[in-house]
Amino acid sequence: MVEEIGKTAEGDLIINVGPQHPATHGVLHLVITLNGETIKKVEPHLGYIHRSIEKMCESLTYRQFIYTTSRMDYLSAHINNHACALTVEKGLGVEIPARAQVIRVLMDELTRIASHELWWGAMAMDLGAFTPFFYAFRERETINDIMEETCGARLTMNYMVPGGVMIDLHPNFQTRVKNFLKLYKQKIHEYDEVVTGNIIFQNRMKGVGYLSKEAAISYGVTGPAARGSGVSCDVRKLYPYEIYNQLDFQEVLETEGDSFARYMVRLREMNESIKIIEQLIDNIPEGDFQAKTKAVLKLPKGEFYQRVETARGELGVYIVSEGGTTPYRIKFRSPGFSNLSCLDHITRGGKIGDLIASMGTLDLVIPDIDR
């Protein structure tokens, strides 16, 4: 159904939210048509942080291009790198050792928790409560410190390579992760007390930004935003990769489709990730952390696609190879792009405060959208 994309009537106000704005998480330019306090149309203008990553990758080798993706969705850096490594391994037909698989899944789940923590803090801050941000960062800093010890960096970790991981786990890794799990379990109830149970938050988020199941599927929304509307789309369950099919965790689904449902999905996903980490942390198998691969990688001629579940949704890496050392074309199916496309649909008829709440629960990271 193609709607008449609203005409500006008399008395409508057109304002720009962004690109520099405290509430758009990154440089997102929204052109909003307002009638009084009611939103009539939201038009996102993208491209402010377009860095032509896909084009750049055409001149980088298969070992090098992986690390440009850390800068795409920087909150799920490990998971992005993981996706690229998996696609290359698919092309090479390489078998990953068990230890490497477990390490990769552990890093992925830690990243997912860190990403959801930051989302929680930033969303509460958008709605006006400044304190949860600091509480969220207290936990996130612990994860960043763990990453720094093993991978060498806190944000763009560059740890995955085709074949496994770059270097073995630091000897302190297990103890630190176990301490983190203890700390997390102590603090998670604070999140519910301070934010989830607060009636002002509930009123700001319940019934706001309703996304129906059909609309979610037709806009291509994936990740927690879609699972809040009841769409079962967790790539870890539907198209399992690595050892996810051997792990015991639930796919978190809510049916209401409003902002509060999306919020609860992410909070429960953090708990599910904790469950996965608990299952793995004591059972890291011994062995190689990297499969033997040639120094210079050449993918055979053909097309390879791999999808993973990042903290935002389904990321797909599509490599077209002509048989050389650099890819002919790389395309990233970014979760944020599709999630953003439903923003107009869910905020029409609401107020500016609702726009902020909905945008917060869609969890957009603009570098992921613009690449």
Partner 1 sequence: MFSLESLTTLVQDWLTKTFPPLVALLFEFVIVGVLAIALFAALGLVLVLMERKVAAWIQIRLGPNRVGPKGIFQSAADTVKLIMKEGLTPDGADKFLFNLAPYIVMMVAMLVLAPIGFAKGFHIWDINIGVLYVSAISSVSVIGILMAGWASNNKYSLLGAMRSGAQMVSYELSVGLSVLSIIVLTGSLNINDIVLSQQNGWWIFKAHIPAIISFVIFIIAVTAETNRAPFDLSEAESELTAGFHTEYSGMKFALFFLAEYINIFIVCAIGATLFLGGWMPFHIGNWESFNHIMDYIPSFIWFFGKTFFLIFLIMWFRWTFPRLRVDQLLNLEWKYLLPISMVNLIVMTLVAIKGWHF
Which residues of the chain form contacts with partner 1 (CB under 8 A)?
Answer: 13, 15, 21-23, 37, 124-131, 133-135, 138, 194-195, 198, 200-201, 203-204, 351-354, 356
Question: In the bound complex, what is the minimum distance in angstroms from residue 194's beta carbon to partner 1?
Answer: 8
Residues 6+ apart with CB under 8 A from 291: 94, 95, 96, 97, 100, 163, 164
Question: In the bound complex, what is the minimum distance in angstroms from residue 255's beta carbon to partner 1?
Answer: 24
Question: In the bound complex, what is the minimum distance in angstroms from residue 24's beta carbon to partner 1?
Answer: 9
What's the helix, strand, coil split of the chain in %, to 5?
Answer: 50, 15, 40
Distance, in Å, from the CA atom of 287 to the CA atom of 125, rounded to the nearest integer, reads 44
Nearest residue (CB) to partner 1, 207 versus 220: 207
Nearest residue (CB) to partner 1, 190 versus 322: 190
Nearest residue (CB) to partner 1, 137 versus 239: 137
Nearest residue (CB) to partner 1, 220 versus 353: 353
Nearest residue (CB) to partner 1, 79 versus 127: 127
Nearest residue (CB) to partner 1, 37 versus 192: 37
Which DSSP letter does residue 221 get? -
Residues 6+ apart with CB under 8 A from 101: 242, 243
- Helix (H, G, I), strand (E, B), or coil: what is residue 100? helix
Question: In the bound complex, what is the minimum distance in angstroms from residue 330's beta carbon to partner 1?
Answer: 35
Closest listed residue to residue 34, CA positions, set 6, 4, 67: 6
Question: In the bound complex, what is the minimum distance in angstroms from residue 196's beta carbon to partner 1?
Answer: 12
Residues 6+ apart with CB under 8 A from 146: 110, 173, 176, 177, 180
Nearest-10 Cα torsion for 246, 86, 266, 146: 90
Question: In the bound complex, what is the minimum distance in angstroms from residue 210's beta carbon to partner 1?
Answer: 16
Residue 271 · residue 181 · CB < 8 Å: no
